[in-house]
Structure 1
Amino acid sequence: MRVLVTGAAGHIGRYVLDDLLAHGHEVVATDLVPVDEPRAERVHTGDLQDPELVRKAMDGAEAVVHLGAIPHPNGPDPSALFATNCLTAHRVLDEAGRAGVGRVVAASSLSAVGLAWSPVPQSPQYVPLDEEHPILVQDPYGLSKVVLEEVARATHRRYGTDIVCMRFPFVGAGERLRIQLDNVRADPGSNRAELWGWLDTRDAAEALRRALEAEIEGCHVLNVVAPDTSSDVPTATLMARYHPGVPAFAELAGHAGLFDIGACTSTLGFVPRHSWRTGTPPPHRGALSAQTRTCRPARPDGSVR
């Protein structure tokens, strides 16, 4: 396929370009800064808030990987961050729908749940945390990811575009990952709001490609997370220490991750393969059984999450 990759100069974007090209896809790349990729069919430099840039970049695309966004909440103007991420999401997805693009894969974030950057510390309502967990978001970055997912649903309803939104945790490899692991090792509590989730960048790139290639229809939101934590402290100990009293609907053995990735596995046939540990990582957290789901806290209307 000819794939437009937005945010192609970013950390994930560079891995995505390599992965797509290695698997025979043609790429068109765009970013705010120049993309140094001679193998690309075309490269566009500019702001995704510019409708003309998006239109030109989308020309001839059969699929889109949308990574172009402000990737963190650390900025001087939270409202501007929110506005930028929401506008670029709508520009890209709406133009993809208008252009008849068949498949869009967008990088959402587990921040959409609302734990990671909450100004008021929160705990999950249950673990493993799946895509049905209630939205608790308070911060503008996480809220912008909620909007991205709603834009995806609206785009599918309006144009019939098949879309996959991937909720990523911290994503890293090499030195970037080493620094993150060192920080978590020194202070596990510093990562409590992120539930010690992480993903190797190679797995992120492969998951994005698999979502492009999968024979699926509709609009999907998927957790894409490594099956283990980023901490060397056992998972049950982490929860007892930093999130006491939270119901666990699966055994928290060893360093098992706290996110349910069963939907990713069943939808894409993909389980993250890379681990930072020297031993074998724990089995992936599959979809919760129907029996387990009935054990979750009930909504105010009496239905079960």
Structure 2
Amino acid sequence: MRVLVTGAGGAIGRAVTARLRAGGADVVGLSKDPFPADGLAVVVGDAGDPAVVAEALRGGADAVVHLAAIPSPERDPALDVFSGNTRATFAVLDEAARRGVPRAVLASSYALLGMPFSPHELHPPYYPLDERAPAQVEDPYALSKAVDELTGEMVHRRYGTDVVALRFPFTADTARLAEAAAKVRADPASGARNSWAYLHVDDAAEAVWLAVTRPLRGFHRVFLAAAETLSPLPTAQLVAAHHPGVPVRAPLPGRRVPIDTSAAAALLGFRPAYSFPV
């Protein structure tokens, strides 16, 4: 199996390439900047440039994993965030699909719902959140992810490519999760925009592996998250305090994350292995 991974030099990208290689895949990385690649074949260039993507796909591929993106709207100009992210997604998926690559995995985001980066205080439509929850987009990053998912859906309809859009929450390694957990412990409100959700980067890599290798057809969008929140407080207490009045449609016992990840479990057989000790 040959897999192209864009954004291969990022935190998720490095974990994904390691997991794919451990599973026996021949991996080609695409990265905007050089990075220590440990023997990985890397094409350096912009994922939004079709010629660069074509070079990375020169040897063919059984799947593409598109992770390259500006990860937030907080530092770069809004136009760069939106246009850069959507251009890269279109370039990668369209180039791959026209070359007959049968599977694409797309890094979408919980932030697509609009809450994390909104200039206003937003509340979810209900808990537990699921893939039917309507977005409240107020920032260019969330907008780019909404368009990215539509691009994946279009590519499936036009070319027949099977596409999985993985909606990552805050995703990090153990050290960064420890920092985030300490912040949430000191100020539970700081985690409200993210629904106190997280995913360890190794679990993110496992989800990608499953999205690349599991038999499936069509276009799918699924939420991912660790089973429990980053807060030591009961989830029901957090929701009542920081999202008052939001309908709770199913019980949230203990520290259960208020995101329904059953679609990822059903489609991919994914169940997170990592639970951060708070």
In the superposition, the TM-score normalised over structure 1's length comes to: 0.89
Aligned to 2:243: 243
Question: Structure 1, unaligned stretches of length 5 or more?
Answer: 279-305
Q: Distance in 1 between matches of 2:240 and 2:253?
A: 13
Give the counterpart letter for 1:242 in structure 2: H
**Moved >4 Å (runs of 4+):** none
Aligned to 2:122: 122
Aligned to 1:175: 175
Matches within 5 A, 1:79-90: 79-90=79-90
Aligned to 1:47: 46
Q: Which has the higher contact order (CA 8 A, sep 6+)?
A: 2
The count of corresponding residues between Structure 1 and Structure 2 is: 277
1:76 Cα shift?
A: 3.8
Aligned to 1:58: 57
Aligned to 2:262: 262
Deviates more, 1:70-79 or 1:82-91: 70-79
1:272 Cα shift?
A: 0.7
Q: Distance in 1 between matches of 2:64 and 2:36?
A: 19
Deviates more, 1:211-220 or 1:246-255: 246-255
Would you say the 8 A contact 1:35–1:45 is kept in 2?
Answer: no
1:39 Cα shift?
A: 3.2
Would you say the 8 A contact 1:8–1:17 is kept in 2?
Answer: yes
Q: Distance in 2 between matches of 1:49 and 1:76?
A: 16
1:68 partner SS: coil
Aligned to 1:293: none
Q: Distance in 1 between matches of 2:34 and 2:204?
A: 22
1:141 Cα shift?
A: 0.5
Q: Distance in 1 between matches of 2:88 and 2:267?
A: 27
- Considering only aligned residues, what root-mean-square deviation do their CA atoms show, in Å? 1.0
Percent identity of equivalent pairs: 45
Would you say the 8 A contact 1:29–1:35 is kept in 2?
Answer: no
Aligned to 1:18: 18
Matches within 5 A, 1:154-193: 154-193=154-193
Aligned to 2:138: 138
Aligned to 2:78: 78
Give the counterpart letter for 2:17 in structure 1: L
Give the counterpart letter for 1:188 in structure 2: P
Q: Distance in 2 between matches of 1:147 and 1:228?
A: 29
Aligned to 1:223: 223
Aligned to 1:295: none
Would you say the 8 A contact 1:104–1:212 is kept in 2?
Answer: yes
Q: Distance in 1 between matches of 2:163 and 2:26?
A: 19
Would you say the 8 A contact 1:75–1:81 is kept in 2?
Answer: no
1:124 Cα shift?
A: 0.9
1:65 partner SS: strand
1:28 Cα shift?
A: 0.2
1:49 partner SS: coil
2:107 partner SS: strand
Q: Distance in 1 between matches of 2:124 and 2:244?
A: 10
- Deviation per CA, 1:125-144: give whole Å up to 9, x if none: 11000000011111110110
Give the counterpart letter for 2:156 in structure 1: H
Q: Distance in 1 between matches of 2:272 and 2:76?
A: 35
Would you say the 8 A contact 1:164–1:220 is kept in 2?
Answer: yes
1:228 Cα shift?
A: 0.8
Aligned to 1:290: none
Give the counterpart letter for 2:152 in structure 1: A
- Deviation per CA, 1:139-171: give whole Å up to 9, x if none: 110110000000000000110000000000000
1:236 partner SS: helix
Question: Structure 2, unaligned stretches of length 5 or more?
Answer: none
